[in-house]
A = this chain, B = another copy of it.
Amino acid sequence: MPNRFIQKLKSYGVLEKSDVAALEVATSDVRLIGPKSDLIREGDRPGPVFVVLEGWASRYKILPNGLRQVVAFLMPGDCCDLHVGLLAEMDHSIQTIVPARIVTIGRDQMDGLMDAHPRVARAMYIAQLVDEGIMRAWITSMGRRTSIERAAHLMCELYLRAANIGLTTGSELVLPLSQLLLADALGMTPVHLNRVLKTLRLSGAMTIKREKLLITDPTQLARIAGFDENYLHRRLRVA
């Protein structure tokens, strides 16, 4: 089973054998977690850094009135913030969506790894910058895109992120996200999301069927979304 975390870091910069070996050691303590289990809850005191090796998770916040907003999706290879351990308490929760393989890396181990392997540290910092770019793109989507554009944009993003770690087959991607979850991520009601997905389906751009996203017309989907992939930073910086 490929280690998506290492695969992802490699996409952000060349890693030597020794780097990969160190990462393999650091990510050997795998735990299996069931679906819909909170890994950590808002208000909890943060513990070790953790990495999703397989499966999907969501970061979310609950408002005082009970509404939920998903603020990020974690797919295989994604991890929480490197320095969460510095905080007194979490400002959001993280929950698995489907059964997942999770690795936790203690603070000392993480510090040691980053000190001894600057190329790894560099790749992790880039990963963090990409995560921030994604948050900015989400803010932009929520504020200034219509619901159709917003849904199309999210699908473009998820597809490219997944493609980056070899999770796609052709123009298809296994996407275990219910319409309720997607609605909470896109800031709309499930009913309206359902109609939006129908419109996108009828337009011929994409379909979601049985937890599979199929992009039938990438150009059109990107056009609908007004998608510019620059924020995913797949182009490496050249010296």
Contacts and interface: CB of A to CB of B under 8 A. Distances in A.
B91 A144 contact: no
A43 interface: yes
A186 B143 contact: yes
B136 A61 contact: yes
A216 to B, nearest CB: 22
Nearest to A68: B144
B129 A86 contact: yes
Contact of A238 (B72, B88, B142): B88
Contact of A87 (B140, B185, B233): B233
Interface in A182-239: 184-187, 226, 228, 230-231, 233, 235-238
The binding surface of chain A is classed by DSSP as mixed
Contacts of A236: 88
A130 to B, nearest CB: 9
Interface in A114-144: 122, 125-126, 128-129, 132-133, 135-140, 142-144
A38 interface: no
Contacts of A140: 61, 63, 69, 71
Nearest to A228: B64
Given A136-B59, A140-B61, A83 B125 contact: yes
Nearest to A45: B237
Contact of A143 (B65, B69, B133, B235): B69
A87 B126 contact: yes
Contact of A187 (B89, B144, B237): B144
15 contacts: A42-B230, A43-B230, A71-B140, A86-B129, A86-B237, A87-B233, A88-B238, A91-B136, A91-B230, A135-B135, A135-B136, A135-B139, A138-B139, A142-B143, A143-B186
